[in-house]
Structure 1
Amino acid sequence: MHRVLVVDDEPSIRQLVQYNLTQAGFDVVTGESGNQVLHLVRDKHPDILVLDLMLPGMSGMEVCQQLRREGITTPVIMLTARDDEIDRILGLEMGADDYITKPFSPRELIARIRAVLRRTTSGSESAGGDVYQIGNMRIDVTKYELTINGTPVDLTTREFELLAYLCQNANRVLTRDQLLENVWGYEFAGDTRIVDVHISHLREKIEKNPKAPEYIKTVRGVGYKLVKGEANRGADS
């Protein structure tokens, strides 16, 4: 049974989400403030976090940023009443994996949670357990591990899945819509800015010069491709 941590300062929202998730077969833990999140994550070990943006104490964005800063890669779905594009982008830049606005359908939230968990728990299996060696990067899809020159690099779940999909399609141009469909797993209403944000995050972590990337190239007007060059892919290379 997957455990979901739901943090929202509105009791009615917590009760609604907890009831529907419990009915859907999830183990649910709740919190009401941003200051509780880090303790709950360490103590309860949730598989996914549903986090309200506007929380007393630390905001949802601050919490998400702190989690990622500490290397905690638990997937995060940001839950908020605010629907401005800037809020969506800021949430993603702080390390959130997804974003859903109030009022929301419990069915949609459950579908989003299941989609993220499906990618987390079985994505490596569907990818065939490959290990990719590209330049100085070693990407172990089975273990969700990236090392550069032998040094581990922390990626969020979504960042890793995006990198893995690019590796699986190395030297092939992928449109933003293709990346949305195959990495995010459902339609994002054409919000391709989400792809751009995650590509930017990846470049910051894997490129020597993110403004002149060696690996992830932009194909103007189309999308992106990962340049494999002369590197070989092997089981342990």
Structure 2
Amino acid sequence: MDTKVIVINKDRSFVKGLKYSLEQDDYIVEIAHSIKDVIEKIKSRDYELVILDLLLPDGNGLNLCRTIREHSQVPIIILTEKEEDINKILALEYGADDYVTKPFNILVLKAKIKAILRRANMKNHQINNQVIKIYDFTVNTVGRKLTIKDKSVSLTGKEFDLFYLLISNPGKVFTREELLKTIWGYEYYGDLRTVDVHIRRLREKIEEDCDNVEYIHTKWGVGYYFKDRKASAAMD
């Protein structure tokens, strides 16, 4: 099956060059220059990847990212000239899978795209009918849904992957580097705050008190782990 990509960017000259380059790798590339254009396209078509700019003529790309994520788990790459850290952090919080600033190496971008798509395809092929129940959590890997005490909790794709990995390995400490490689599926071209941002968002959704966490703990100087109550009780 051909891979369909939509590029959302107001710079027509830049988009033309990017489209040509991606098509050399056999991607089917569609273009949108505004939020209005893309909303209609996403409603009527299925895409495997969204490449999104932050500066659009009729709105903010971050808000569009959040809107897309509310309805779809399609991978999203933010590709923009805005380099401020706050934009990177917000993009990740709003559900983007990666953030790339111009100028960039097209080979690096293509490597990121392939890795993200490979990871998404692996998840699609590996999904089974397993339902995991631990403590107050019920994790359904088919619908990629989480409930806490029978209450549904909305997670982004990366948040679900992080939680599933941690809860499937209670007591095991994962370094930030390990989480980046496992969840994002490649050696991440960025800083380790990506993991911290997603862990913080995850805690806000599953913990009753983020200042006194019960489940997802920090091993200072190392990484993160899901607390194993049984192991902890045995040690007491």
Whether these two folds match at TM > 0.5 is yes
The AA in structure 1 aligned to 2:113 is I
Structure-1 residue corresponding to 2:119? 119
The AA in structure 2 aligned to 1:82 is K
Residue correspondence of structure 1 range 136-155 to structure 2 within 5 A:
136-155=136-155
Q: 1:128 to 1:44 in 2, by over 3 A?
A: closer
Structure-2 residue corresponding to 1:93? 93
Residue correspondence of structure 1 range 9-20 to structure 2 within 5 A:
9-20=10-21
Contact 1:130-1:141 at 8 Å conserved across structures: yes
What secondary structure does 2:213 align onto? coil
Q: Extract unaligned runs of 5+ from structure 2.
A: 232-236
Q: 1:39 to 1:174 in 2, by over 3 A?
A: same
What secondary structure does 1:133 align onto? strand
Contact 1:52-1:78 at 8 Å conserved across structures: yes
Structure-2 residue corresponding to 1:64? 65
* Percent of aligned pairs with the same amino acid: 38
Q: 1:89 to 1:162 in 2, by over 3 A?
A: same
Please report how far the alpha carbon of residue 36 of structure 1 lies from its aligned counterpart in structure 2 after TM superposition.
2.5
Please report how far the alpha carbon of residue 199 of structure 1 lies from its aligned counterpart in structure 2 after TM superposition.
0.5
Root mean square deviation, CA, Å: 2.2
Structure-1 residue corresponding to 2:7? 6
The AA in structure 2 aligned to 1:98 is D
Residue correspondence of structure 1 range 155-194 to structure 2 within 5 A:
155-189=155-189, 191-194=191-194
Structure 1 runs (4+) deviating above 4 angstroms are 124-130
Query: In structure 1, what is the Cα distance between the partners aligned to 2:172 and 2:99?
Result: 29
TM-score calculated relative to the size of structure 2: 0.87
Higher relative contact order (CA 8 A, sep 6+): 1
The AA in structure 2 aligned to 1:138 is T
The AA in structure 2 aligned to 1:73 is Q
TM-score calculated relative to the size of structure 1: 0.87
Structure-2 residue corresponding to 1:235? none
What secondary structure does 1:28 align onto? strand
Please report how far the alpha carbon of residue 168 of structure 1 lies from its aligned counterpart in structure 2 after TM superposition.
3.0
Query: In structure 2, what is the Cα distance between the partners aligned to 1:160 and 1:101?
Result: 26
Query: In structure 1, what is the Cα distance between the partners aligned to 2:11 and 2:223?
Result: 40
Please report how far the alpha carbon of residue 108 of structure 1 lies from its aligned counterpart in structure 2 after TM superposition.
2.0
Query: In structure 2, what is the Cα distance between the partners aligned to 1:180 and 1:128?
Result: 24
Query: In structure 1, what is the Cα distance between the partners aligned to 2:227 and 2:64?
Result: 35
Structure-1 residue corresponding to 2:41? 40
The AA in structure 1 aligned to 2:77 is I
Once the two structures are superposed, what CA deviation does each residue of 1:180-206 show, in whole Å capped at 9, x if it has no partner? 121112223561111000001111222
Query: In structure 1, what is the Cα distance between the partners aligned to 2:228 and 2:129?
Result: 19
Q: 1:225 to 1:183 in 2, by over 3 A?
A: same
